[in-house]
Amino acid sequence: MISGDSEPSGLMEKEWALLRLSWLYARAMDRNEPDILRVIFTDDAVLEGDDFNIQGLEAIVALPAALHARYSVMMHTVHNQTVAFQGDRAEGETYCIAHHIMDTAARGGPTIFDMGIRYRNQWLRLQGGWRFSKRRVILDWTEIRAARRTMT
């Protein structure tokens, strides 16, 4: 996706703002900081994937705690992001590898569960700045392997 914005400095500032939202989302999930999500999503936002559909800010804010009940450690690494702007709206895609540590006795100890993810994003610029209005999680691949060492 290529933006039609003709002002490079304005385009860079907008792209930077949207990339920062992706970084903040990763931090909120990894560090169980749900209040960050209140700042980066619209009130009526949707977070969805093939097997889930979370609607509304309050439901999205509950997600970090649910993930931390399942995984002892998480680290989302945000990679490239492409964006197309249309006024106060934008659409784009963010690549991410999400690393998770599961404490699974059934597998003989801690297990690493990695996911190759693409987020299809929709953003909306409000008076307070850019916000996610929709994120669709596309799972491209997964890998499970034994963890050698974990630190919390």
Residue 150 clears pLDDT 60, i.e. is over it? no
Contact 116, 100 (CB under 8 A): no
Q: Which tens digit of pLDDT belongs to each residue from 31-88?
A: 999 999 999 999 999 999 999 999 999 999 999 999 999 999 999 999 999 999 999 9
Rounded CA separation 80/7 (Å): 21
Encoded amino acid at 108, one letter? G
Higher pLDDT, 148 or 2: 148
Rounded CA separation 109/22 (Å): 31
CA distances for 137 relative to 67, 105, 119, 127, 128, angstroms? 15, 29, 5, 27, 25
Residue 107 clears pLDDT 80, i.e. is over it? no
Give the single-character DSSP code of 148.
S
pLDDT value, residue 70: 93
Strand partners, 83: 92
Rounded CA separation 22/96 (Å): 9
pTM of the predicted protein model: 0.88
For the chain, list the domains and their CATH numbers.
8-146 (3.10.450.50)
pLDDT value, residue 99: 96
Both tokens assigned to 114: 């990695």
Q: Of all residues in the chain, what percent carry a pLDDT higher than 90?
A: 82
pLDDT value, residue 100: 96
pLDDT value, residue 3: 40
Say which range, 11-15, 121-125, 131-135, has the weakest mean pLDDT. 11-15
Nearest to 136 by CA among 124, 147, 120, 149: 120
